[in-house]
Amino acid sequence: MGDPANKATLFDALARVGKALGSGKRLELLDLLAQGERSVEHLATAAGLGLTTCSAHLQALRQAGLVATRRDGTKIHYRLAGPDVAALYALLRDVAGARNAEAAAARDAYLGPADTEAVDRDELRRRLAAGDVIAVDVRPAEEYAAGHIPGAVSIPLDQLAERITELPADVEVVAYCRGAYCVLSHEAVRLLTDHGRPAVRLADGMLEWRRDQLPIVA
C-alpha cells in the first residue's frame, strides 16, 4: 500500500474517467443522455455522428463507467450511470465557463445575445404556485416524456410557431429547456416576444433541476 506504483495506477484509473470527458463529441452525448435514455442511432443523428463513431464514443463512456445500457429488442438504450454523472458534467461545464475565457466566449456565441429575460428556479416555482405564469417545455417531446417540471406543457421549439395559439395571450410564458448551456429556451423566448407574447426563460433547465432534486413528473 501507498507505494508509487499503486499511486500511479490509481491516478491513471481516475484519468480514464477524465479522458472520457476530453472529447467534445462525448460531452455532447452526455448532454443528450442527461435528458433521458436514448438508442445509439438516435444519439448518432442527434449529435451528427457516424453510427460507428458514435458507438465507439459510447464504448469509451461505458468503459469509464459513466453510462449504462439496457437492451430492448434489437435496440440498445444508453443512459447515464447515475445522477452523480450529470452533476460531474454540470460542474465541468460551470468550471469551464467560469475559468476558461475561450469556453465562455464559445458559450456566448452559441447562446446568442443576452436579449432575453431570465428567472431563476425559485421564482418559477413561486409563480407557478401562484398560477400567474405557464411553464413551457420547448425540448423535443421525447425528452419531455422522460421527465419534466410539474405543470409544464410540452411545445417543442420546432412546433412553437404553429402552435403559438395554444397559449393564452395574456399569461406570461416561462420557457425552459435542457440546461444553462442549451439554446432552445433563448430561441423560444425570442420567437414568442416577436409575436407579442409576454415570455421569459428559466435561467437554467432540466439538468440543474434534476441535479438539485426538485420534483419531476415522468
Q: What does the alpha-carbon distance between residue 69 and residue 76 come to, in Å, rounded to a whole number? A: 7
Report the residue from 37, 187, 204, 208 that binds its own copies according to the rule CB under 8 A: 187
CA pair distance 129, 145, nearest whole angstrom: 22
- The sign of the torsion formed by the CA atoms of 155, 112, 29, 104 equals negative
Shortest Cβ distance from residue 164 to its own copies (Å)?
A: 19
Choice from 2, 71, 109, 113 touching DNA (CB under 7 A): 71
Helices in 21-70 by DSSP H: which ranges?
24-33, 40-47, 51-64
Examine residue 45 and tell whether it contacts its own copies (CB under 8 A).
no
CA separation for the pair 18, 139 (Å, rounded): 29
54 an active-site residue?
A: no
Task: Indicate which residue of 152, 177, 188, 206 is catalytic.
Answer: 177
According to DSSP, the residues that pair with 135 across neighbouring strands are: 174
Nearest distance from C-beta of residue 98 to its own copies, angstroms:
6
Residue of 21, 28, 46, 55 interacting with DNA (CB under 7 A): 55
Residues of this chain that bind its own copies (CB under 8 A): 1-2, 4, 6-28, 31, 48, 64-66, 81-82, 84-85, 87-88, 91-96, 98-103, 105-107, 109-113, 181, 183, 186-187
